[in-house]
Structure 1
Amino acid sequence: MNNSSSTSEQRIYIVDDDEALRDSLAWLLDSAGYLTQSYDSAEAFLADYNDQLTGCALLDVRMPGMSGLELFDRLCDLHATLPVIFITGHGDVPMAVAALKRGAADFIEKPFNDEDMLTLIRQCLAVEKEGRDRRRQDAEVARRLDLLTQREHEVLELIIAGKLNKQIADTLGISIKTVEVHRARVMEKMGVNSLAELVQNVVGLEPQAPR
């Protein structure tokens, strides 16, 4: 295991059976201020894997035992959110391209340029953090939605549909004043200050992937 003094919670997981390449990559990434963790096999990484890991993974395509591609398939089955960069030899490019179509982030051919690798890492970490922030926001929106009463849910659905207070009152058979009360409670419980913010949060809510 190689750790840098970076304060970032993200970590780059290096999975390669080539000790020299692992050490070289760890040195490069540590020197750039990243946290790293190295594994000499796909099985070793999988044994450590959990869905709280953040950062990205560098996987060698060809390894004894479980290959990098097989590891990627297992991570897909686990609904892993870590972006994956494949390290390939020239003959492995078609397999890496196929992996891209299945959701891998990118691949880089050996021997690679250090700056190209660091650029890929920066891009992957930014994407991973953005996705994590979005999932955290979605979870908070979902938590707040659970606080709404059945009637508040009904009012919310009609608000999202663009209905005016009078139209909501007519649809639900309640007074406009009652609609205004429900509407205010919805805004308060959802923690928003404007209709636009409410719509953006609820309409933008993505389904949570099963674990």
Structure 2
Amino acid sequence: MSGSPGVPDQKIYIVDDDEALRDSLVWLLESNGYAVASYESAASFLEIYDASLTGCLVLDVRMPGMSGLELFEELKRRRSPLPVIFITGHGDVPMAVSAVKKGAVDFIEKPFGDRDMLALIEQCLAAERENRIKRRLETEVARRLAHLTHREREVLDLIIGGKLNKQIADVLGISIKTVEVHRARVMEKMGANSLAELVQQVIAAEPGASH
């Protein structure tokens, strides 16, 4: 399969030292149309990892060598965008709960049902798609902001601050007509059709807006 259903570039990465569990998960997911790659250790996954990977990660909490939790922490350090689902045994539930508090999407306890796993996977993939769109928007808005002149940025900041044209003119010591010209150029350069859209764009471009 070339990707998850309807999303060709998403893949599910399984990291678990239990070969039987890996094989059964690969079979379950591939038979439901998902692209899957599996790894027997955290180290083997890190060998292929890069920030451009899309999809989600299904990760066993407890593994020899680097544990699932340690891999999760390492990926956080690398600012990985991959959502993480932990697989846990009964005794490791407290650790998994702690991981969820630190940003993992969820955990699922062994033995788990196929439907439960598939529902979690789809939740993860949907979240990853949404976050990718937000990151793309942030990048595009930042690019547009960079093309504003210093004066246009001043006008924009005052618009976002809720100032009317007359107030902006007073603050900047320019005519209302000049404000109108700058305002029109800001709207054009930002590709905004309304004041509300302009405000939403700038908010979206703020650091951390998609997290």
Instruction: Tell me which interval the TM-score lies in, with the shorter structure as reference length.
Output: over 0.9
How far 1:166 moved relative to its partner?
Answer: 0.9
Task: Please state if 1:45 is matched with 2:28.
Answer: no
Cα distance in 2 for partners of 1:124, 1:132 equals 12
Number of the residue aligned with 1:103: 103
Whole-Å Cα distance in 2 between the matches of residues 4 and 131 of structure 1?
21
The alpha-carbon distance between structure 1 residues 128 and 5, as it changes in their structure 2 partners (threshold 3 A), is closer
Identify the residue that residue 187 of structure 2 maps to in structure 1.
Answer: 187
Structure 2 match to 1:199: 199
Deviations, residues 56-105 of structure 1 (Å, cap 9, x unaligned): 10011111111101100101111111111011111111111111111111
- Alpha-carbon deviation of 1:208? 5.9
Identical aligned pairs, as a percentage? 71
Mapped to 2, the partners of 1:5 and 1:121 lie a distance apart of 13
CA distance in 2 between partners of 1:48 and 1:86 (Å): 20
Aligned to 2:60: 60
Paired position in structure 2 for 1:75: 75
Number of residues of Structure 1 aligned to a counterpart in Structure 2: 207
Structure 1 residues 169 and 139: CA distance shift in structure 2, 3 A? same
Partner Cα separation in structure 2 for residue 90 and residue 107 of structure 1:
11
Q: Could you tell me which residue of structure 2 aligns to residue 175 of structure 1?
A: 175
* Matching of residues 1-211 of structure 1 within 5 Å: 3=1, 6=4, 8-207=8-207
Task: Give the residue type in structure 1 aligned to 2:118.
Answer: L
Instruction: Name the Cα RMSD after superposition.
Output: 1.4
Q: What CA distance in whole angstroms lies between the structure 1 residues aligned with 2:203 and 2:20?
A: 49
Q: Is the 8 A contact 1:59 1:85 kept in 2?
A: yes
Unaligned runs of 5+ in 1: none
Contact 1:55 1:125 in 2 (8 A): yes
Q: CA deviation at 1:38?
A: 0.6
TM-score (norm 2): 0.95
Quote how far apart the aligned CAs of 1:20 are: 1.1
Q: What CA deviation, in whole Å up to 9, does each residue of 1:176-204 have, x standing for no partner?
A: 11111101110011011111100111123
After superposing on structure 2, the runs of 4+ consecutive aligned residues of structure 1 that deviate more than 6 Å are: none
Amino acid at match of 1:65: G
In the alignment, is the contact (CA less than 8 A) between 1:141 and 1:205 conserved in 2?
Answer: yes
Tell me, in whole angstroms, the C-alpha distance in 1 between the residues paired with 2:90 and 2:141: 46
- What is the TM-score normalised by the length of structure 1? 0.95
**Residues 141-188 of structure 1, C-alpha deviation per residue, up to 9 Å, x if partnerless?**
000000000000000001001111111111101111111110111001
Aligned residues of 2:17 and 2:40 also touching (Cα < 8 A): yes
Quote the Cα distance in structure 2 between the aligned partners of 1:208 and 1:116.
Answer: 31
Per-residue deviation at 1:54? 0.7
